[in-house]
Amino acid sequence: MGFAVTTNSKEGNLCLTKEQLKSLFLKHDSNHDNHLSRKELRQAFDELGAFSARYRAARGLSHADADKDGQIDMVELDDLVNYAYKLGYTGQPQDSKHLK
């Protein structure tokens, strides 16, 4: 998928900042309408290594979609980024942690 965040990591520890997370989500706005659809969200979470990207997309959407139009706009994106960040989506697959 061509995800090329340069890691400034020592131990191969990819750790995205919120800004980087945001640009990752933005990158998945594949039709460039400045909204992230459920499908685009799913692709973003997929790239983040989510165990179930479909589930995460649905959860993220219901969490951040304030006006309930089924898409994440640029205002709601900040909420989504916070949500993903809190879950620990910083570029490392760590869903196993959240299953417990």
Contact residues for Ca ion (CB under 5 A)? 29, 31, 33, 35, 65, 67, 69
Q: Given the complex with Ca ion, which of 72 and 90 has the nearer CB atom?
A: 72
Q: Given the complex with Ca ion, which of 14 and 79 has the nearer CB atom?
A: 79
φ/ψ of 55, rounded to 5, equals -65, -45
Q: Given the complex with Ca ion, which of 70 and 93 has the nearer CB atom?
A: 70
Kindly state the smallest distance separating residue 84's Cβ from Ca ion, in Å.
16
Q: b or e along 4-20 (b: 16 or more beta carbons within 10 Å of the residue's beta carbon)?
A: eeeeeeeeeebebeeeb
Tell me the CB-side half-sphere exposure of residue 79, using CA atoms within 13 A: 16
Kindly state the smallest distance separating residue 72's Cβ from Ca ion, in Å.
6
Kindly state the smallest distance separating residue 79's Cβ from Ca ion, in Å.
10
Token output for 87: 């879950």
